[in-house]
Structure 1
Amino acid sequence: MRAIGNLIWFIFGGIIMGLAWCFFGLLAFISIVGIPWGRSCFVIAGFSFFPFGKVAIARDELTLSEDIGTGGLGMVGNIIWFIFAGFWLALGHVFSAIACFVTIIGIPFALQHLKLAGISISPIGKTVVTKEVAAAARNANAETVVSNIRSNR
C-alpha cells in the first residue's frame, strides 16, 4: 500500500514540493554558510518525494545522544531556517493540504502535507526513518527510562 500511495503522491504533486525543497537546498549550498541547512533540505526532499511509510524523528531520540543539531545551536539554526525558508515551505505544504482536503480521496495526501509542513518549520536535528524504526527507537527509549526509574528506587 505504501508503494501505491507514494507513486500516486509523486505523480500528483509530491514532485512539486520535493523540487521546492531541492531549490531551497541549492540556495543554501550556494551561500556556503547554509550548507547544514542544505543537507537537511535534500534529506527532507527525499521524504517529500515519497512520504508514505516514513516519519521524521529527532536524532537524539533515535541515538540517545545529543549532537550539534539537537542542542542549543540546532534551535538557533531552526529559528534562522524558519525566517528564511521554513515559513515558505510550510505555507506551500499547508496550501497543498487544503487543496487535497477538498476530496475524500485526497485526505491521506493532505495528512502527509501537514506532516511535511511540521518538519518544514524545524528540520535541523531531525532525520527521516521508516515508521517501524521510529517505533522501535521510541520503545527502546521507554524501556531505558523505566529501567532508570526502577534502579533509582
Structure 2
Amino acid sequence: MSLLFNLLWIILGGFFVSLGYLMGGIALCFSIIGIPWGIQCFKLAVFSLFPFGSDTRMRDYHETNSTLNLIANIIWLVFGGIFVVFSHLFWGVVLCLSIIGIPFGIQHFKMVRLGFTPFGREIIELDAIGRTN
C-alpha cells in the first residue's frame, strides 16, 4: 500500500518538493561551510520523495554529539529551516482540509519534525503495521 501512496505522492507534487531540497543541497555544498547543511537537505530530499513507509527518529545519545547537533540545528532554523517548517505545516493543514488529502497532510507533518531538527535525526523504514524494522 505504501508503494501506491508513494507513487501518488510523487505524481501529485512530491517530486517537486524533493527536487527543491536537492537543488538547495547542491547550492549549499558549493561552499565548504555549507556542506553539513547541504547533506541535511539531501536527507530531506530522500525522505520527501518516499515518505510513506518511513519515519524519522532521533539517533541514540551515544551515536551523536548532541551539543554539535544542537548548535547546527539552531543555525539551520535561523538561516532557512523555519521556512521549511512553516511550508510543511501550511501544506499539511491545507491537505488535511479534504478527506482524500489527509494521508498526504500527515506526511507533511512528519516532514516538519525532520525540517525542525535534521541534525541528529535518521530516517527509518517501517513495516506494514508501522513498526520499525
Is TM > 0.5 for Structure 1 vs Structure 2? yes
Instruction: State the match for 1:31 in structure 2.
Output: 31
Instruction: State the match for 1:51 in structure 2.
Output: 51
Distance 2:90 2:132 in 1: 33
Unaligned runs of 5+ in 1: 138-153
Distance 2:97 2:36 in 1: 36
Instruction: State the match for 1:129 in structure 2.
Output: 124
Q: Report the count of equivalent residues.
A: 131
| Larger-Rg structure | 1
Distance 1:91 1:15 in 2: 19
Give deviations 1:33-92, integer Å, cap 9, x for gaps.
1111111211221110110010111222xxx62323xx1011000000011121111122
Q: Which has the higher helix share?
A: 1
Decide whether the 8 Å contact of 1:90 with 1:117 is kept in 2: yes
Secondary structure in structure 2 of the residue aligned to 1:30 = coil
**Shift in Å, 1:136:** 5.1
Secondary structure in structure 1 of the residue aligned to 2:122 = strand
Matches within 5 A, 1:106-121: 106-121=101-116
Q: 2:5 corresponds to which letter in structure 1?
A: G
**Runs in 1 of length 4+ with deviation above 4 angstroms?**
134-137
Secondary structure in structure 2 of the residue aligned to 1:56 = strand
Q: 2:108 corresponds to which letter in structure 1?
A: H
**Shift in Å, 1:115:** 0.8
* Residue of structure 1 aligned with 2:63, choices 44, 47, 66: 66
Instruction: State the match for 2:6 in structure 1.
Output: 6
**TM-score where L is the length of structure 2:** 0.89
Decide whether the 8 Å contact of 1:24 with 1:85 is kept in 2: no
Coordinate RMSD, CA, aligned: 1.8
Q: 2:30 corresponds to which letter in structure 1?
A: I
Q: 1:10 corresponds to which letter in structure 2?
A: I
Distance 1:136 1:130 in 2: 6
Give deviations 1:80-123, integer Å, cap 9, x for gaps.
00111211111221221122112101001001001101210110
Decide whether the 8 Å contact of 1:94 with 1:114 is kept in 2: yes
**TM-score where L is the length of structure 1:** 0.78
Distance 2:96 2:26 in 1: 31
Decide whether the 8 Å contact of 2:125 with 2:132 is kept in 1: no
Instruction: State the match for 1:97 in structure 2.
Output: 92
